[in-house]
């Protein structure tokens, strides 16, 4: 195996562009069967947020309605003739935690989800079991040609909300250890041990490229309420990156593929490790079929974000639904983004035009002050 397609944040038939993305995806996969000049796609990697409940406000409180048939319909869009490797996002792990906290419902507001019941993962399991080519994993390794190793992991366990997801990991702990013996710290140790053993299996010189795939970005940028927001949800994951670097050093090229933020963004990350640095090329592909976030306006932001933790240079950003194609050629990997025309509602268009008007007003105000 050599080549694959990657995306996340996809199964939203309430809002978004799932239909268009899946049409483009299937067209691309059909091309591989009949067009000689296009590389073969061997599998898909899907980086979580595999379902989005319908949101409804009742008396000022947000309620989320899980519609099992709609969830299943979304999974039915996925192709059936190619292996699909799927991991978790934070939305997949959501549940009602506290007694009386009835934020989740099944089908309608009369059918509340019980406390600590992982309904979304349960329904996703039922949907994926109907397609034998979908593997729904907490951890997955894939060794490609040209000494390219993919390691797919869970990143929600490194987020600030990790504790509230703990009960939902029971679906993926297949060893003899009971969930009651796990907390977030030893769950992280369990995953790190899997990562280290996987790397050790291929030995010194056996890995040229390491592709890590998780749900959350190491760092990312988006615009919210006309402000540039830094995405720093999994700072604890830095410990894993440093452990990997301590083993492989600069003998491999590092890539990180993820989703979570609903846009396409490329960037260069430099992790500071004592007197050394770990260089990672990151691709955020949260564009699989839900509503999109807004890219930072490059004219209103610094090109480089630097702090004690890392340096991040955003090199590309698009507010477009689509997927990332990875072609494994020796000695380098080639990545290309395939986007579809964005189809948004009138309300979203109005908001966008208002933001543009505000920016124009601000620029005019700044110009008038300078003159």
Give a yes or no: residue 86 inside a domain. Answer: yes
State the pLDDT at residue 306: 87
State the pLDDT at residue 350: 37
Give a yes or no: residue 31 inside a domain. Answer: yes
Pairing of strands 43-46, 4-7: parallel
How many CA atoms does the CB half-sphere of 103 hold within 13 Å?
A: 14
Give a yes or no: residue 368 inside a domain. Answer: no
| Assigned token pair, 131 | 């397609």
Chain-centre distance of CA 134, in angstroms?
17
Q: Which residue has the tokens 């040609």?
A: 145
Give a yes or no: residue 359 inside a domain. Answer: no
Cβ(287)–Cβ(9) under 8 Å? Answer: yes
Q: Which ranges in 35-76 belong to alpha helices (H)?
A: 68-76
State the pLDDT at residue 256: 98
Give the range of the structural domain holding residue 154, as residue numbers without chain letter: 4-340
| Assigned token pair, 17 | 């562009």
Rounded-to-integer distance, Cα 115 and Cα 100, Å: 8
Residues 6+ apart with CB under 8 A from 328: 2, 3, 144, 145, 146, 148, 209
Q: Which ranges in 249-287 belong to alpha helices (H)?
A: none
Count of domains for the chain: 1
Give a yes or no: residue 349 inside a domain. Answer: no
State the pLDDT at residue 38: 72
Least Cα distance to 288 among 131, 78, 138, 120 occurs for: 78
Residue 160 burial (CB count, 10 A): 11
Instruction: Read off φ and ψ for residue 61, nearest 5 degrees.
Output: -110, 140
Q: Which long-range contacts (CB under 8 A, 24 or more apart) does 202-208 make?
A: 202/143, 202/147, 202/149, 204/251, 205/251, 206/147, 207/147, 207/148, 207/149, 207/248, 207/251, 207/252, 208/146, 208/147, 208/148, 208/252, 208/253, 208/331
Give a yes or no: residue 64 inside a domain. Answer: yes
Q: Which long-range contacts (CB under 8 A, 24 or more apart) does 66-72 make?
A: 66/104, 66/105, 66/106, 66/107, 66/113, 66/119, 66/120, 66/123, 67/107, 68/106, 68/107, 68/123, 68/126, 70/13, 70/14, 71/11, 71/120, 71/123, 71/124, 71/127, 72/123, 72/126, 72/127
Rounded-to-integer distance, Cα 62 and Cα 70, Å: 20
Beta bridge partners of residue 228, listed in sequence order = 223
- For residue 151, whether the previous peptide bond is cis, meaning omega lies within 30 degrees of 0, is no
User: What's 212's domain CATH number?
Assistant: 3.60.21.10
Q: CA 192, 195, 201, 202 torsion: positive or negative?
A: negative
Give a yes or no: residue 169 inside a domain. Answer: yes
Beta bridge partners of residue 46, listed in sequence order = 7, 86
| Assigned token pair, 341 | 């025309």
State the pLDDT at residue 100: 55
Give a yes or no: residue 170 inside a domain. Answer: yes
Instruction: Read off φ and ψ for residue 289, nearest 5 degrees.
Output: 155, 20
pLDDT in tens, the chain (371 residues): 689 999 999 999 988 899 999 999 999 998 765 556 677 899 999 999 999 999 988 888 888 999 999 999 999 999 998 999 999 999 999 887 665 566 889 999 989 888 778 999 999 988 887 777 899 999 999 999 999 999 999 999 999 989 889 888 888 876 655 556 778 998 999 999 999 999 999 987 899 999 999 999 999 999 988 888 899 999 999 999 999 999 999 999 999 999 999 999 999 999 999 889 999 999 999 999 999 999 988 765 566 888 889 999 999 999 999 999 999 987 789 999 999 965 543 334 334 444 444 444 443 333 333 33
| Assigned token pair, 342 | 């964005």
């Amino acid at each position: 195996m050599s080549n694959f397609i990657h995306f996340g944040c996809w199964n939203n038939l309430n809002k978004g562009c799932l239909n268009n993305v899946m049409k483009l995806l299937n067209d691309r996969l059909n091309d591989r069967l009949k067009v000689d000049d296009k590389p073969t796609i061997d599998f898909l990697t899907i980086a979580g947020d595999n379902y989005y409940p319908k949101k409804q406000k009742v008396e000022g409180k947000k309620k989320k309605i899980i519609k099992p048939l709609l969830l299943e319909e979304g999974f039915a869009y996925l192709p059936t003739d190619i292996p699909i490797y799927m991991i978790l996002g934070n939305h997949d792990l959501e549940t009602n935690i506290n007694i009386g906290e009835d934020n989740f419902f099944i089908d309608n507001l009369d059918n509340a989800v019980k406390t600590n019941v992982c309904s979304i993962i349960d329904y996703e399991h039922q949907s994926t079991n109907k397609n034998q080519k979908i593997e729904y994993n907490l951890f997955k390794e894939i060794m490609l040609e040209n000494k390219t190793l993919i390691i797919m992991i869970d990143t929600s366990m490194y987020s600030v909300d990790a504790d509230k997801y703990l009960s939902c990991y029971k679906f993926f702990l297949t060893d003899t250890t009971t969930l009651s013996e796990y907390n977030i710290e030893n769950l992280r140790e369990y995953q790190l041990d899997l990562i280290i053993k996987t790397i050790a299996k291929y030995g010194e010189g056996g890995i040229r490229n390491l592709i890590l795939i998780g749900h959350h970005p190491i760092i990312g940028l988006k615009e919210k309420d006309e402000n540039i927001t830094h995405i720093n949800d999994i700072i604890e994951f830095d410990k894993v990156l440093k452990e990997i670097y301590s083993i492989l050093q600069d003998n491999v090229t590092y890539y990180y593929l993820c989703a979570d933020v609903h846009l396409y963004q490329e960037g260069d990350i430099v992790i500071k490790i004592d007197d050394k640095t770990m260089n990672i090329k990151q691709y955020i592909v949260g564009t699989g079929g839900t509503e999109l976030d807004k890219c930072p306006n490059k004219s209103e932001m610094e090109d480089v974000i630097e702090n004690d933790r890392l340096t991040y240079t955003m090199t590309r950003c698009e507010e477009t639904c689509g997927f990332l194609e990875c072609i494994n050629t020796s000695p380098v990997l080639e990545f290309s983004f395939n986007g579809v025309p964005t189809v948004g509602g009138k309300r979203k268009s109005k908001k966008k035009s208002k933001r543009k008007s505000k920016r124009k007003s601000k620029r005019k105000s700044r110009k008038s002050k300078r003159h």
